[in-house]
Structure 1
Amino acid sequence: MSGSDPAGATADPERDERIEAAITRLDLDAKVRLLTGAAMFDLAPEPLIGLAQTRLSDGPTGVRGPDFAGGPVAALLPNATLIAQHWSRDTAYDAGVLLAEEAAAQGVHVLLGPTVNLHRTPLGGRLFEAFSEDPLLTGDLAVGYVRGVQHGGVAATPKHFLANESETDRTTVDSVVDERTLREVYLLPFEMVVAEAPPWAVMASYNRVNGTPATEHRRLVEGVLKGEWRFDGAVMSDWFATTSTAASATGGLDLVMPGPGGPWGARLVEAVRSGAVPEPVVDEHVRRLLRLAHRVGTFGPGRRQAVPAPEPGSPARRDALRRLAAGGMAVLVNRRGTLPLTVPSGAVALIGRHATETVAQGGGSAQVRPPHVVSVAEGLTAALGADLVRVVDGVEVRERPVAAAGLLHDPVDASPGIRVIARDAEGAVVESRHIDGTDLIAGYGDGWLADAATIELSAELALDQAAQVQIGVRGAGSWTVRAPGITETTTLASADGPGADILSPPAWAAETVAESGAQITATVTAGDWVRLLGLVARPAPRPPADAIAEAVEAARECDVAVVVVGLTQEQENEGGDKTTLALPGEQDVLVEAVAGAAERTVVVVNAATPVLMPWLERVDAVLWAGLPGQEAGAAVADALLGEVEPAGRLVTTFPARDGQGPAWSPVPVDGAVHYAEGPAVGYRGWDASGEEPLFWFGHGLGYAAWEYGAVEADTDGGVVRTVIVWLANTATHPGREVVQVYLRPPGGEPVRLIGWEAVTVAAQEETRVRVDCDPRTQRVWDPEGSRWTPLTGGEILIARGLGDIRARIPLEG
């Protein structure tokens, strides 16, 4: 097993002696200076004790580096839910190893991931970063991921501790969760990763937990994380999350991010001198920070050197990421053996905006700048040949305009991207730079915009012919925009919340007719707040009726129609939650129309989180493609054509309509989100309700056929230890199965996943599958006695998801 060697905490007397000696050499001001970031993603060096700068980077599916936009090119992995759909700790480990290589090559020492919050409600805007709705599956994958990252000498940072399952009002919301639910559900993934792959850092969340901010929650941080679990790493804040001085310093927080400002600094020095914070508390924070620095090679001997890694666009990286994406995709429906596709003579009609502008990643701090994104149109055309693929764009899927790839070129050097000119108050040029992209971040960084009074963005359009286009800008501020047929002055209001002007920048655009080479110039007033600024240029949207008519015509003329639908960063984005699971725009109407015209219809869903499927009974197959990363289209082609079996299993239960499920709204009421469903989160609550979802957690058909034979269980004191299953692949080709074991306890306790095992079986072969079951899921927390008691009795369910139970074993209570 590739993830079998823990990268855990070990005794290191020499390190500890070095740390204690360093602490004694630092005065109070110097110690406190180390406990707040020196910049947005850097920690301060201290030459006096031999401490070098330590660099952090956002993750969790790529290493972005210190720049939110325009930074280094980095490999873009499939999103966390797609990796999780492998149901494999080894796969998570391999993803962590790859990320560590990327981090080391960029000089990054600490990766801010994985996200181990749960999919409590399908409306959560940031679910694409988190593994699943189940605490055991999430914890197990987090163990593999953390081991992989730290095997490469890079610190992993599980986040966000704790009860951060929605984004609405995330900096002020109070997550109200009873003690039992906290212990059994939301703490369990963190407990597992601390026990089995001790991370070198943990990130505290923005929200309050039962009235106390997570950054100063002494009972959870000092009591549970550092006390009961003996976590010896550093606890850092989420960015701008810390609002107190003494309460956070004595509550267990070790590091405030970012810096150099913040609530510690001089105020913490004064709090120590006044007696509000004992100096040994500061020493303990420094001790943990230096322990982190020692582990990543920025403190002590053996300073880490830059490590060569495969280029993000190299064949080795591309092949690994392509298989990682394709293997995690899930076949949700496959009528008449439609998949894998065979196209002996006729053409495929490939339809939909997500086919031509495939979404590879979610929005927010997880975004990276990949070397490319292979669209589904490019991937399927490369696999079948241009003569066999007819591409039809489809309906508009966005409300806010963004730049289309390749349309903007720098007017100075004609390279793809834009020109940015900083001018002073008199209009003189302070600096002129090429930006390899369409956006930049103003307000922090190397300060090259610090002396600007205005910032000018300009580009030339690269068009095949004169066309109707949308031209505009993104970003808060007062803008003047000039382009052929457009002279506009507009003010875009700043958004609320930390980072909102980066995560969800306001936008404006207008339509005009333009020719290739036409110049766009947009000027905005400079400011000292952090915001994203960018240009918009894209083909003007067509009326939906015209797009649907073209799609129907293509569907009638081809052997099979593949419709690619999905979500965008408007729905799957940090800083906001969804209000519906419906596909945006007229995508449902498009699918219905195509299904009515095509001989066979396959729907590919390019989204990480559940969507409604009102057309489900009228299509032949559905492939859940997730957010597949930079090799997206090539991976989708592999899955559709059977080059790689899409053997993924869902990690979230899909409602059939809005409002269904044990938890729905992420919106606080009177400032609080009440976790009223208790431990019956996700499939657990669905099972208790007796209501049938659209698709169960754990569902996925793959391309093989499975028969389950004899089963037996081994128990110890009523706790299930192992389950043995005889499994046969009755298909004519090999396949991968995920044998899932659930416990349905007596007395109304919710059903829960207690173990699983993934196996690959040759055609017409059978095998004996041993599933090890985790006792941590077979216990109940007693809040009055503050202790665990075993959960015994009920029945064991051997299943392919709770919608397809293959065997039952009764248990004695």
Structure 2
Amino acid sequence: MKHREIIEQLTLAEKAALMSGKSVWETKDFPEKGIPSVFLSDGPHGIRKQEGSGDHLGLNASVPATCFPTAATLANSWDPNLVEEVGVALGAEASSLGVHVVLGPGLNIKRNPLCGRNFEYYSEDPYQAGKMAAAMIRGLQSQGVAATPKHFAVNSQELRRMASDSVVDERTLREIYLTGFEIAVREGNPKAIMSAYNKINGIYANEDKRLLRDILRDEWGFTGFVVSDWGGSNDHVLGVENGSHLEMPGTTTVGQKELIVAVQSGRLSERVLDERVDELLQVVLELAAQEKRSIHPEGQHRLAQRAAAESIVLLKNDEQILPLKAEKTVAIIGEFAQNPRYQGAGSSLINARQVENTVDSIVDYSLTVVGYAQGYQRIDQPDETLVTEAIALAKQADTVLYYMGLDEISESEGLDRSHLNLPQNQLYLLGKLAAVHENIVVVLSAGSVVDMSWTQHVKAVIHGYLAGEAGARAMLDALTGIVNPSGKLSETYPVNLADVPSSKDFPAEGDYALYREGLYVGYRYFDTSKKAVHYPFGYGLSYTTFAYSDLLVHETGISVTVTNTGTCAGAEVVQLYVGKEDGAIFRPKKELKGFAKVYLEAGQSKEITISFDDKTFRYFNTLTNSFEVEGGVYQLYIGTSVSDIRLVAEVTQAATTDQLPDMAGLERYQSGQVDQVTDEEFARLLGRPVPVESWTIGQELRLNDPLLKLQYAKSGLARLIYKLLHHLLKKAEKKGKPDLNLLFLYNMPFRALAKMTGGMLDQQMVAAILVIVNGHFIKGVSQLWKAFRAKNSYQKQLS
């Protein structure tokens, strides 16, 4: 142990206390023993340090901070150098605010476009997500703070997120859901990592030894500490035993007691506890010794604007209506032009220091603006007066800039979406505008995929995603040609939601989320099955054009020449995909294995090199339990999107093993037609029977059932509590603003009550409450009283 001298001074109670926070955001300290406290804060795209008493979901205000573009936005830049620069700025701001640990970046795979938290994640592709996350981690940690990639792992939905079991086959787990984290850990070297709420194949992520020790620490070389998501510690003893260090938020003596009793009973070895304390102290002592950095708010804001500008995606530009011509008159329509939608909702909600909007900012641009009309209510409800005003204004201008997008209730932590549509009142207004005007430019704001069937009615679509506090000026720069859009989509836009293979049962409403589609997530499915999409992965237009030539294959990578064949400067994202047409091992037709962004003046050419790495040709072999390379010929595709391939070459690779998994009985996985996978075929892929839901209506509720199941409780009081909770959620929905604390409660399992009440309840008390919920009122109250007295007695012994 590196800190044996300190640990030998600690009592068992003190060591156990270090494994839980002392508050919502702070770790436990023992100053007299040389152990300081460090401060953790949300911060995927800004620092959310709360003032006064803290709470996980933002009930109390946070200090002003720079709001940078969200991860979904930055991913569209395809520029790790830019993301690292943003990370540096975030790290410096965290340090200046006294924050030691930044809870981000988020890099879960966008398995389905309905996930309410997709705006916080980078990509549907693990290679791209990993590269972006590693860059963010390097930037953050260059400023003396710790990054915390999350949520580790296979966390793909918000509904029942604390009580859901992600059932996934081993190969898909390693290739899709862990590869991004692997790249982030190996290339970013984070000092912390956050475990996910959910189970993975029956084991909670926060207590999964194979995940947290065998893979994360032993295989990838992780040397930091593992922190639970807030309230995500199921069995604290198992968590500590199997590789988790810090249970958050603070549970006062509840978690401490669990560890003490476990050591005293022999269930947990004190040697293992010492090991976890040593690993945690290694990071805590290093972070606490760092000097505070300072920032220049204006410099932060300018970087936020540049990051937003370089992430803008031009989706449509008929007749080159963009960039806007100075001599043309413009009408600005849409609520988002005055009050922008620039970030998501939930634990990442930033108290932005300096939010800009289009209506106020456009006066600084050489455009003739005839006026602004709100056009629609932010909440999705009809308003004919606003529609009439917007149509009248539109008729006065040569070009209509119509600001559309998802509202706050549409995408939020704790709430998955039920459809891909934009708000109906916005679409209604678009139809009315299209009937009277042919030159409509839609400026889109949303953190995730939306239905795009309406694009046939407009000349141009330009997408800023959730662009942060400086997004308005970044977009105006792109609209006027000061900036040439260079963003590319990091997720596929399907024609219909039903085309996504996981949509049949997403989000999973029962105990199990079945990942039937296996490897075929996002473009891997659409490209392999040859199903049409609206916009493919990697897609994005420019005000200029690019030509590809002179593809050369070297032993260590490829080189290709890119030429700007247009009339203005711009940046292109060169994408390398790899496939194997004659493989004995089923795989998607193409998989992203490299990319490079290059800036070129008009007429300029550059040779771009993309190197191969250990992930270029590998697949996970379930027989050897390791990544292997199948021998033979591979196709190398160079393109500007997964669907727009400009050059193709081949390369031969030697096999690393002659042991190949049996592909018999996996015909749909071999063809990619995974929208039709049967239970039998999924069981074959899993290597075990498909789990069957074990709870039915009328059955007694269990510790790991979510509170939303109170609607089925035997206790009338419990059912009444559910009705009140459901009523309050619907009331918040009608207001257009999600109530995050209610959503958290709705999806929280009973056992988490002992982790989220600041020590008011322990697991014995929760078990007694469950007895009451299951209709045994007198028995449950008696048990609750006994458990309460026992808890208080134990707390007095520790104090």
**TM norm. shorter chain > 0.5:** yes
Displacement of 1:263: 5.1
**Aligned residue among 390, 400, 406 for 1:567:** 406
**Structure 1: distance between partners of 2:330 and 2:13:** 68
Q: Which residue of 1 aligns with 2:313?
A: 330
Note if contact 1:57-1:111 (Cα within 8 Å) is conserved in structure 2: yes
**Structure 1: distance between partners of 2:633 and 2:596:** 23
Please say if 1:770 is aligned against 2:634: no
**Aligned residue among 307, 310, 313 for 2:293:** 307
**Structure 2: distance between partners of 1:307 and 1:51:** 22
Q: Which residue of 1 aligns with 2:339?
A: 357
Note if contact 2:639-2:645 (Cα within 8 Å) is conserved in structure 1: yes
**Structure 1: distance between partners of 2:601 and 2:385:** 48
Note if contact 2:438-2:459 (Cα within 8 Å) is conserved in structure 1: no
One-letter identity of the residue aligned with 2:536: W
Q: Which residue of 2 aligns with 1:533?
A: none
**Aligned residue among 724, 737, 753 for 2:572:** 737
1:389–1:225 distance in 2 versus 1, CA, 3 Å: farther
Give the secondary structure class of the aligned counterpart of 2:573. strand
Note if contact 2:358-2:472 (Cα within 8 Å) is conserved in structure 1: yes
One-letter identity of the residue aligned with 1:62: G
Q: Which residue of 2 aligns with 1:46?
A: 30
Note if contact 2:570-2:601 (Cα within 8 Å) is conserved in structure 1: yes
**Aligned residue among 468, 473, 480 for 1:641:** 480
* TM-score normalised to structure 1 length: 0.77
Cα displacement string for residues 316-354 of structure 1 (whole angstroms, at most 9, x for unaligned residues): 22221111111110001111111111131x421111121
Please say if 1:186 is aligned against 2:177: yes
Note if contact 2:406-2:446 (Cα within 8 Å) is conserved in structure 1: yes
Cα displacement string for residues 8-57 of structure 1 (whole angstroms, at most 9, x for unaligned residues): xxxxxxxx64x221111111111111110000001111113222221000
Q: Which residue of 2 aligns with 1:464?
A: none
Q: Which residue of 1 aligns with 2:150?
A: 159
**Aligned residue among 326, 330, 349 for 1:343:** 326
**Structure 2: distance between partners of 1:260 and 1:248:** 15
Q: Which residue of 2 aligns with 1:749?
A: 587
Cα displacement string for residues 130-149 of structure 1 (whole angstroms, at most 9, x for unaligned residues): 11111000111111110100
**Structure 2: distance between partners of 1:770 and 1:309:** 36
Note if contact 2:370-2:397 (Cα within 8 Å) is conserved in structure 1: no
**Aligned residue among 506, 515, 519 for 1:666:** 506
Note if contact 1:555-1:561 (Cα within 8 Å) is conserved in structure 2: yes
Note if contact 2:86-2:303 (Cα within 8 Å) is conserved in structure 1: no
Please say if 1:723 is aligned against 2:562: no
**Structure 2: distance between partners of 1:147 and 1:213:** 29
**Structure 1: distance between partners of 2:455 and 2:85:** 35
Displacement of 1:294: 2.3
Cα displacement string for residues 353-393 of structure 1 (whole angstroms, at most 9, x for unaligned residues): 211221111000001101232122223243246x6241110
Q: Which residue of 1 aligns with 2:527?
A: 687
* Bigger strand fraction: 1
Note if contact 1:158-1:203 (Cα within 8 Å) is conserved in structure 2: yes
Cα displacement string for residues 584-636 of structure 1 (whole angstroms, at most 9, x for unaligned residues): 13212222322332241111111111111222122111101111111121111
Note if contact 2:36-2:285 (Cα within 8 Å) is conserved in structure 1: no
Please, which moves more after superposition, 49-58 or 60-69? 60-69
Q: Which residue of 1 aligns with 2:267?
A: 276
Displacement of 1:544: 3.3
Displacement of 1:256: 0.3
Displacement of 1:61: 0.3
**Structure 2: distance between partners of 1:97 and 1:221:** 28
Give the secondary structure class of the aligned counterpart of 2:47. coil
Cα displacement string for residues 701-753 of structure 1 (whole angstroms, at most 9, x for unaligned residues): 122211112212224xxxxx412111110112111000101112224410200
Cα displacement string for residues 300-329 of structure 1 (whole angstroms, at most 9, x for unaligned residues): xxx333322113xx3x22221111111110
Superposed, which structure 2 residues align to 1:243-642 within 5 Å? 243-261=234-252, 264-296=255-287, 298=288, 303-311=289-297, 314=298, 316-344=299-327, 346-384=328-366, 388-398=369-379, 543-642=382-481
**Structure 1: distance between partners of 2:444 and 2:616:** 32
Please, which moves more after superposition, 586-595 or 74-83? 586-595
**Structure 1: distance between partners of 2:652 and 2:97:** 56
Give the secondary structure class of the aligned counterpart of 1:694. strand
Give ranges in structure 1 of 5+ residues lacking alignment: 1-15, 400-540, 716-720
**Aligned residue among 73, 83, 87 for 2:64:** 73
Give the secondary structure class of the aligned counterpart of 2:408. coil
Note if contact 1:33-1:265 (Cα within 8 Å) is conserved in structure 2: yes
1:714–1:373 distance in 2 versus 1, CA, 3 Å: same
Give the secondary structure class of the aligned counterpart of 2:534. coil
**Aligned residue among 83, 88, 97 for 2:79:** 88
One-letter identity of the residue aligned with 1:41: W
Displacement of 1:289: 1.1
**Structure 1: distance between partners of 2:335 and 2:496:** 24
Cα displacement string for residues 641-682 of structure 1 (whole angstroms, at most 9, x for unaligned residues): 111222111000001222222332432153111111111111
One-letter identity of the residue aligned with 1:734: A
Note if contact 2:107-2:180 (Cα within 8 Å) is conserved in structure 1: yes
**Aligned residue among 195, 203, 217 for 1:212:** 203
Note if contact 2:331-2:370 (Cα within 8 Å) is conserved in structure 1: yes
Cα displacement string for residues 285-305 of structure 1 (whole angstroms, at most 9, x for unaligned residues): 111111111221x2xxxx333
Give ranges in structure 2 of 5+ residues lacking alignment: 52-57, 654-799
**Structure 1: distance between partners of 2:365 and 2:233:** 51
**Aligned residue among 518, 528, 536 for 1:678:** 518
**Structure 1: distance between partners of 2:109 and 2:122:** 7
Aligned-residue Cα RMSD (Å) equals: 1.6
Q: Which residue of 1 aligns with 2:717?
A: none
Note if contact 2:50-2:63 (Cα within 8 Å) is conserved in structure 1: no
Q: Which residue of 1 aligns with 2:598?
A: 759
One-letter identity of the residue aligned with 1:735: G
Note if contact 1:201-1:234 (Cα within 8 Å) is conserved in structure 2: yes
Q: Which residue of 2 aligns with 1:419?
A: none
Equivalent residues, number: 640
Please say if 1:797 is aligned against 2:637: yes
**Structure 2: distance between partners of 1:348 and 1:318:** 27
**Structure 2: distance between partners of 1:21 and 1:749:** 52
Note if contact 1:381-1:389 (Cα within 8 Å) is conserved in structure 2: no
One-letter identity of the residue aligned with 2:557: T
**Structure 1: distance between partners of 2:432 and 2:646:** 37
Q: Which residue of 1 aligns with 2:135?
A: 144
Moved over 4 A (4+): none
Displacement of 1:66: 3.2
**Structure 2: distance between partners of 1:341 and 1:631:** 20
**Structure 1: distance between partners of 2:353 and 2:606:** 42
Q: Which residue of 1 aligns with 2:783?
A: none
Give the secondary structure class of the aligned counterpart of 1:26. coil
Note if contact 1:40-1:66 (Cα within 8 Å) is conserved in structure 2: no
* TM-score normalised to structure 2 length: 0.78
**Structure 2: distance between partners of 1:784 and 1:398:** 54
Note if contact 1:55-1:107 (Cα within 8 Å) is conserved in structure 2: yes
Note if contact 1:323-1:644 (Cα within 8 Å) is conserved in structure 2: no
Please, which moves more after superposition, 666-675 or 96-105? 666-675
**Structure 1: distance between partners of 2:650 and 2:509:** 42
One-letter identity of the residue aligned with 2:286: R
Displacement of 1:765: 1.5
**Structure 1: distance between partners of 2:512 and 2:414:** 17
